[in-house]
Amino acid sequence: MSGSFGLAAIIGPFLGGALTDRATWRWCFGINLPIGAITVVVCAIYVRIPSESAEISVSTRTKLSQVDVPGTVFMVASLICLLIALQWGGSAYSWSDSRIIALFVVFGVLAIAFIITQATSITGAKRLISSALARKRDIWLAVSYAMCVTGGVYVVVLYLPVWFHDTLGYSSLASGTLLTPLIASYVVSSIVAGVFTSAIGYYNPGMIIGTALAIAGATLLTTIDLKTSIARIVGYQIVYGFGIGFGFGQPSYVVQTVLPTVEVPIGVTLVTLFQNLSASIFVAAAQSIFQGELRSRFGSLSPGSNASFLNSGAIELIYSLPSEAQQEAKEAYSKSLTLTFYISLALSAASIVGALSIGWVSMKSSHNQVQREEES
C-alpha cells in the first residue's frame, strides 16, 4: 500500500507539472474525474465482499438503526467548521474577524457534542468509536504518531515545489521532478521498513528510526535559502523521505496487533481519518503562516503592496519592483515559504511521544493472536 502511494506520488508531480506547463492547471483537478470513474468501474466489477447470512436477513431499517447518525453529523460538521476557519483565517479574513471566531466556536461546540455521543449511550449502543477501541491507549498514541508524520510530509510536498518554481524559476514540470528524491526515498524506506518490521516482529524500532530521520531531515529543510545548492536540497529530501517512509506504515501495524480482529477495520479507518485530517489542518496552517509572512515582509519592502499582492500575486509583485529591490524581495519570499517547514519540524519532534510511549507488543506472538480472537 505504501509503495503504491509512493508510486502515485512520484507520477503526480510529473503529470501535474506537465499539465500546468502545456495545458492548464485546472486539469490537475479535472484529471481526478476520469481516474475516479475508472476506479469506480473496476471496483464494481472485481470487488466481491462475501455477505453473512445473518446480515442478509436483517432489514434495511434495522441496519440504519445501527449507524451512529448523530455522531457522524457532529464529527463531519465540526471538521468542516475547523477547516473553513483555517482556510480563511489570516488570508480572506483576519484571525480576529467575527466569522473566524464564530467558526472556531461552532467547531468547539460540535466537537464536544461528538465526544459526548461517543463517551455515553445517549444516542444508542452503536457508536463510531467503540468503548473497547477508545480505551486502548496505544491506538491513540498510534493516531497521534500518524497525524504528526502525515501532516509534516504534506506541508513539504506542497511547498517545496513552490519554492523551486517561484524562487529559482524552474518550470512546473521541473519543480515536480525535483521532488522525486523525497518520494523515491519514501518508497524505498517504506518497503525496507515493512520487511524490517516483519522480521523482528516489533513496530517500535521503525517508529523510532522514522522519527529520528524525520527530525534530522526537517531540520535541514528549514535551512535552505537562495544560496543552497540543489545537491544539498536533494540530500535533505532523502533524509526526510527515509524518515517518513520508516514511520508512515507503523500505526497500521499497531492497530492490527493490539485490537481484536473485529475492531481492526474501525481502527485502521480511525488512523486514516486522522491522517487526512492532519494533512488538511497543517497545510491550511502552513498557508496562513506563508501568507502572513509575505504580507509582513513585502509591506516593509514596498509600502502599500498588500493590494497588489492580493490582486496579482507575490511573484508578479516581485518583478514589478525596481531591479535593485527584486533580490531582496526574492529572499523575503524564500524565507516566508521555508518558515512553513518549521511545521514539519515541530510535528516530527512531536512524534517522539508516540514513538517512545507505545508499548512493545510482539506481532508474532501466538498468545496475542489467540487473545484477540477470544476478545472478538
For residue range 9-46, what is the model confidence (pLDDT) as tens digits? 777 877 887 888 787 888 888 888 998 999 999 999 99
What pLDDT does 367 receive? 43
Q: Are 273 and 252 in contact (CB under 8 A)?
A: no
The amino acid sitting at 87 is Q
pLDDT level of residue 220 (50, 70, 90 thresholds): very high
Report d(CA 328, CA 280) in Å as an integer: 32
Residue 89 φ/ψ, nearest 5 degrees: -60, 130
The top-scoring range by mean pLDDT among 107-111, 121-125, 191-195, 284-288 is: 107-111
The CATH architecture to which 137-375 belongs is Up-down Bundle (1.20)
Q: pLDDT (tens digit, 9 = 90+) per residue, 195-206?
A: 999 899 999 999
pTM across the whole model? 0.82
Give me the chain's average pLDDT, please. 84
| Whole-angstrom distance, CA of residue 155 vs CA of residue 153 | 5
pLDDT of residue 366: 41
How large is the average pLDDT for residues 94-105?
91
Q: What is the pLDDT of residue 370?
A: 41
pLDDT for 2 equals: 64
Mean pLDDT: which of 170-174, 287-291, 351-355, 368-372 is highest? 351-355
Please tell me the predicted confidence (pLDDT) of residue 49. Answer: 77
Kindly give the interhelix angle for 204-221 and 137-167, rounded to the nearest 10 degrees: 30
pLDDT band at 369 (very low <50, low <70, confident <90, very high): low
Distance CA 343, CA 150 (A): 12
Q: Rounded to 5 degrees, what are φ and ψ at 366?
A: -65, -30
From the centroid of its chain, how far is CA 123? 31
Of 323 and 187, the structure prediction assigns the larger pLDDT to 187
Q: How far apart are alpha carbons 355 and 226 in whole angstroms?
A: 34
- φ, ψ dihedrals at 36, nearest 5°: -65, -40
Res 53 pLDDT > 60: no
Residue 214 has pLDDT above 60, yes or no: yes
Q: What is the pLDDT of residues 69-85, one digit of tens each?
A: 888 899 899 989 988 88
357: confidence class by pLDDT, cuts 50, 70, 90: very high
More confident: 337 or 366: 337
Q: How far apart are CA 366 and CA 376, in angstroms?
A: 15
Q: For position 118, what pLDDT does the model report?
A: 84
Least confident of 68-72, 213-217, 366-370: 366-370
* pLDDT for res 86: 82
Chain segment 108-147, per-residue pLDDT in tens:
999 999 988 888 777 666 777 877 788 889 999 999 999 9
